[in-house]
Amino acid sequence: MKLAPDEMRQRFRARGLKMTPQRAAIYQALAGTTSHPTAEDLHRQVRRQHPMISPNTVYYTLGVLREAGLVYEVNYWHDRSRFDANIDLHHHLICLGCRSIQDLTDEALDRLAVSDRAKAGFSITGHRVEFHGYCAACCRRGRAGRGVGTDERRSDEGSLGVL
Amino acid sequence: MKLAPDEMRQRFRARGLKMTPQRAAIYQALAGTTSHPTAEDLHRQVRRQHPMISPNTVYYTLGVLREAGLVYEVNYWHDRSRFDANIDLHHHLICLGCRSIQDLTDEALDRLAVSDRAKAGFSITGHRVEFHGYCAACCRRGRAGRGVGTDERRSDEGSLGVL
DNA sequence: TTCCTTTTTAGGAATGATTCCTATATAGCA
DNA sequence: TGCTATATAGGAATCATTCCTAAAAAGGAA
């Protein structure tokens, strides 16, 4: 998952973004995990290399990367935004127990279509499927399902995982 | 879309919820629109019948209704939560221009499945598909598409529609 | 109906993620 | 190497949402 510095430079340049040590660290941290961290998670992580980096810079940078299409922002029933450097089409498994998000790649799901009648003038540019349920860890812990859109709070197991 | 008082009473009672004039008004307002209003939208609406109702009551009530499974909460790239009294399985068309949300009913989409291999121990209880693009109004206005997860702000055309 | 207990309501204060503002520092180009 | 536009840090501000509390009301029991 470690992104080559040249590759990163490449991607930034292609979208006319300036490269700074802070941005490199933020993007690197995000590209190096599949845990869909929050801005705060990323700030904690990046602070190890850049002790003076401000949360502000993390928010600003994530905004810039999002506008440039280099990161994707998700917010299902979370109290804050989560980010993903995987911008290839993929889908999500969202745990109603711990609120974790796993990526799901599935060719068949990439090809969904809607009848012209049903979409009634809406012009579709993309889609994504969210599956709800309970992750392996929460199943093991014995999590009976409540409804979707419910408010169980995450038990929070450090959403940056190993790095 | 007007919900019969008896039917509403029925639904509340079935889940052991107390019925109050405020709750009736909030649920009625939500059931009477497909525009996925925010708590604030609902507060503005309900205030017409209940001038003294507090935003607090709206938030609290929506929370109660959500826990009871009577309303669904969504938040894609919005800055606040939006609510939906349609709890039957359905999908969403999300406009990247004005941030509006339309419901989409499609039997085929209701039947998506994932291979056991791909879900790796995740126990799926439900799913929902989000389509991104531009609504008819935004297409007319000539909205060229940017990326998904982008931050165009809604032009805000009173999300409660006619009522 | 009336009483009683529990839950709801309103309102004010608090919380906390995110954004705004600004002076200084730095990237990237000429 | 110098210039200009942009990024950074940090402090203050915003604003949706939640917390706290006293008073009011719902719903069941008598």
The one-letter amino acid at A112 = L
- In the CATH hierarchy, which top-level class contains the domain A88-153? alpha beta
Tokens of B81: 């939560």
**Mean pLDDT score, A124-145:** 87
3-state helix, strand, coil in chain A (%, to 5): 35, 15, 50
CA–CA separation, A44 and B140 (whole Å): 45
pLDDT in tens, B130-154: 999 999 999 988 765 444 444 343 3
Residue A1: the pLDDT is: 67
Residue ranges per structural domain of chain A:
1-87, 88-153
Q: Where are the beta strands (DSSP E) in A29-112?
A: 72-74, 82-84, 91-95, 101-104
Is residue B123 within 8 angstroms of chain A, CB to CB?
yes
Is residue B141 within 8 angstroms of chain A, CB to CB?
no
Is residue A40 within 8 angstroms of chain B, CB to CB?
no
B150 contacts A69? CB cut-off 8 A: yes
Q: Which CATH number fits domain B88-154: 2.60.40.2310, 3.30.1490.190, 3.40.1550.20, 1.10.40.30?
A: 3.30.1490.190
Tokens of A9: 């430079």
pLDDT in tens, A95-110: 998 899 999 999 999 9
Looking at per-residue pLDDT, the higher value among A2 and A19 belongs to A19
Shortest alpha-carbon distance between residue B135 and chain A (Å) = 4
The distance (Å) linking the CA of B80 with the C1' of C27 is: 36
Tokens of B30: 């939500």
In this structure, whether the domain defined by A1-87 belongs to CATH 3.40.50.720 is answered with no
pLDDT in tens, B34-52: 999 999 999 999 999 999 9
